[in-house]
Structures are given as C-alpha cells and as structure tokens.
Structure 1
C-alpha cells in the first residue's frame, strides 16, 4: 500500500482509533483504524478535547473524523471552521 499524499496521518494509539460521524465521542462510531494505519487528512477543526488535544481531523477519502490525540500528522493540515465538509464540485 502506498503512502497517502500530504497531509497524512499515522495512527499512533496502540488500541487504534475510532472513525466518527462528527468530531465528538458522543457521535456514532462508523469504523476504526488499527495502530500504524496511514490516512489522508483533508482538514482539521477544534472540537471536543481528548487528553488535552482539541483537534479532530476530517479524512480525505471519507467524510469521517478521528481525534488528533491518536494520530501523528505529516504535512500542513488546513484549519476549517465548519464541521460539515463541502460537497464535491462537479
């Protein structure tokens, strides 16, 4: 599997990380990623704080969120003011 283009993240939590519908632990879990998984990151928002970290990442290939507390990022992840991703143009 090839590494995603930047920005991307690597799951660093040994327990993995849950994929959530919205950037909150109150939101539905829609999947999970295992330790070491690399994912493309679209943007980030400030939302629920997890262990002192309020950043959540929106994935590039799927409209789901992961807590940045459990992901190390590579490259500059743009800050978004909106939790809802823009609809693809076309």
Structure 2
C-alpha cells in the first residue's frame, strides 16, 4: 500500500499556478526563487514546489508559458476563463 500523500492535488495545482503568476508579475525572477517565495507562503518546501513546477504537477499538466501582457482587458478575460475551468 503506497504512503498517503501529504499534499492534495488541488494544493499542488494552486501552488504551481501561484508560481506561474509570480513569474508573470516579475519577469526577471528566477523560477527557483519564485518557488521558494510561494512555498514560504503556503508552508511547502521550495524544493518540493520546484519539482511540481518542473513536472507540471506529476505530469498531469505542463507549466504554462510565462507571457507578460500589458493589456488589462486580455488579462481579465484570461483569468475569467481560468475561473470557469476551475
């Protein structure tokens, strides 16, 4: 019998999304530093979050490409789409 998972899939997805958002907000920030920052906020070790980010949460999805948009209307539409998917 496998060991129980410490973190839920929902938390993993949320953490990876937060790393992606952090990278969008700070384009010069290294993904390692972004993972550490988000990990500190959520109480997850940075190395664990980096592994999730690299593997796209155990292969269930690939990390989104980091695209910076200056158009707030496009950003709102993107967020509304993501909310509908969730």
Pick the TM interval, shorter chain: under 0.3
TM-score (norm 1): 0.26
TM-score (norm 2): 0.27
Indicate the structure whose relative CO is greater, using CA pairs within 8 Å and at least 6 residues apart: 1
Structure with higher Rg: it is: 2
